[in-house]
Amino acid sequence: MGSTGKAAGFPRRFGKYTLLSHLATGGMADVFLARQLGPGGFQKECVIKRVLPQLAQDPSNQAFVEMFLQEARIAARLSHPNIVHILDFGQIDGDYFLAMEHVDGVTLESVLEKTRAMGQPALPWPIAVRIVSNAAEGLDHAHKAKDSSGNPLLLVHRDVSPSNVMVSWDGVAKVLDFGIAKAMSMSVSGAKVRTGIGIIKGKVPYMSPEQIQGLDLDARSDVFSLAAVLYELTTGQRPFPGETTGKLTLEITSREPRPPEQLNPAFPPDLHPILMRGLAKSVDKRYQSARDFKVDLEQFLADQHSSCSNYDVEAYLKELMPPDERPRPELPSADEIARLEADAAPRTPTRRSDGAIAPLSSVADGPAESDAAESAAPAPSQSTPSALASGTAIDALEAEERRRQRDSGGGKMVMVAIGLLVIGTAVGFFVLHKRALERQSVGTPTTSPASLSPPPSSPSTPATAAPGPTGSATSASAPATADGKPEPASPKPSQPEAIKPTEAHAVEKTADPPSEAAAPRPTDKPEAAKPAAKPTKKVKKTEEAGRPSLALPPPPPADPE
Per-residue pLDDT of 259-277, as tens digits, reads: 999 999 999 999 999 999 9
The class (CATH top level) of 12-334 is mainly alpha
Question: CA–CA separation, 328 vs 244, rounded Å?
Answer: 33
User: Is the pLDDT reported for residue 536 higher than 50?
Assistant: no
- Cβ neighbours of 255 (radius 10 Å): 12
Among 226, 230, 223, 225, residue whose Cα is nearest residue 288: 223
Q: What is the SS3 string spanning 179-199?
A: CHHHHHHHHHHCCCCCCCCCC
Amino acid at 349: P
Distances (CA, A) of 392 to 350, 369, 395: 10, 21, 5
Q: Work out the mean pLDDT of the chain and round it to a whole number.
A: 73
User: Is the pLDDT reported for residue 238 higher than 80?
Assistant: yes
DSSP state of 127: H
Per-residue pLDDT of 408-466, as tens digits, reads: 666 678 888 888 989 989 888 888 888 888 888 776 554 444 444 454 444 444 444 44
- Judging by DSSP bridges, how do beta strands 173-175 and 17-25 pair with one another? unpaired
Contact at 8 Å (CB) between 7 and 331? yes
Angle at 237 between CA 231 and CA 243, to 5 degrees: 120
What are the residues whose beta carbons fall under 8 Å from the beta carbon of 220, sequence distance 6 or more? 208, 283, 286, 287, 288, 289
Quick one: how far is CA 268 from the chain centroid? 52
Distances (CA, A) of 479 to 91, 259, 265, 475, 489: 144, 166, 164, 9, 9
User: Is the pLDDT reported for residue 198 higher than 60?
Assistant: no
* Confidence band, pLDDT 50/70/90 cuts, at residue 347: low
List the domain boundaries for the chain.
Answer: 12-334
User: Is the pLDDT reported for residue 115 higher than 90?
Assistant: yes
The residue-averaged pLDDT of 285-313 equals: 95
Question: CA–CA separation, 118 vs 3, rounded Å?
Answer: 19
User: Is the pLDDT reported for residue 498 higher than 50?
Assistant: no
User: Is the pLDDT reported for residue 367 higher than 90?
Assistant: no
User: Is the pLDDT reported for residue 138 higher than 60?
Assistant: yes
Per-residue pLDDT of 240-250, as tens digits, reads: 988 888 899 99
Q: What percent of the chain has pLDDT over 70?
A: 60
Catalytic residues: 159
